[in-house]
Amino acid sequence: MKRKRKKLKPIIKLVILVCGFLLIKQFLQSPVTTEQISTSVRSPDPYSNVKKYSTQINDELAKYGLEEYTVTLIALMQQESRGQGGDPMQSSESAGLAPNTINEPSESIEQGVKHFKRMIEHGKKKDVDFPTILQSYNMGIGYINFIAKSGGKHTEDLAKQFSKLQVEKNPTLYDCGGNKENFRYPYCYGDYTYSSKVASNIDALSDSVPALGDKEQTGEAF
């Protein structure tokens, strides 16, 4: 009996070793997903503040039959203020007031829509492209007249030329706050990159708010 037990011990050890090896192999081959070892983190929506004003903007535009430009106005607001403050459309100056005089968002939207409506109507009259309209929200109706005499199509070089003309009229006012490191310097009247920035916002918003998208809001001509 003692001899049989001695013979069994090596066999039992071998079985245990084989089973252990198979268990380790199976564990190593099991896929480990990132969900098992970490929690996914979602980036906050950079347009969340302006999207809150979507209905107000749409309703205000609808008064003039311009509700198809809802995404455009949301994109403009994003560029102006990211939906923050009492004048999120930064429309005080378009009403002949000092910057940030308007301190009620609904009033800001009302004036911003009126300003945009004026740019749209004048832009169509002068037969300029849509990027010119976007730029004119920032640079004023004079930019439309300038582009109409310069081929009818907006470019950043033309926006710089227009900005320079306005700076020369009032160099102490339009000096980028005296900051020569400002990317706009010395073209300190408005932002010559404004149209492309708004167009980028429109593209992003058209993807996230597809029901409000429209081809006229993507920067194409009228």
**pLDDT digit of tens for each residue in the chain (222 aa)?**
555 555 556 666 666 665 566 666 665 665 544 444 444 567 789 999 999 999 999 999 999 999 999 999 999 999 999 999 999 999 999 999 999 999 999 999 999 999 999 999 999 999 999 999 999 999 999 999 999 999 999 999 999 999 999 999 999 999 999 999 999 999 999 999 999 999 999 999 987 765 554 444 444 444
Q: What CA dihedral angle connects 200, 203, 207 and 212, to 10 degrees?
A: 120
d(CA 105, CA 49): 12
Which run of H or E residues covers position 103?
none
What's the confidence (pLDDT) of residue 218?
43
Question: Where are any strands of DSSP class E within 7-93?
Answer: none
pTM of the model: 0.77
- Chain-centroid distance, C-alpha 16: 63
What's the confidence (pLDDT) of residue 107?
98
* Amino acid at the residue 135: Q
What's the confidence (pLDDT) of residue 28?
60
What's the confidence (pLDDT) of residue 16?
67
**Residue 141 class from Cβ within 10 Å (0-12 exposed, 13-18 middle, 19+ buried)?**
middle
Contact 163, 175 (CB under 8 A): no
What's the confidence (pLDDT) of residue 30?
55
Cβ neighbours of residue 76 closer than 8 Å, sequence gap 6 or more: 89, 112, 116, 134, 137, 198, 201
What's the confidence (pLDDT) of residue 185?
97
What's the confidence (pLDDT) of residue 34?
46
Q: What is the DSSP letter of 44?
A: P
* Amino acid at the residue 80: E
- The length of the chain is 222
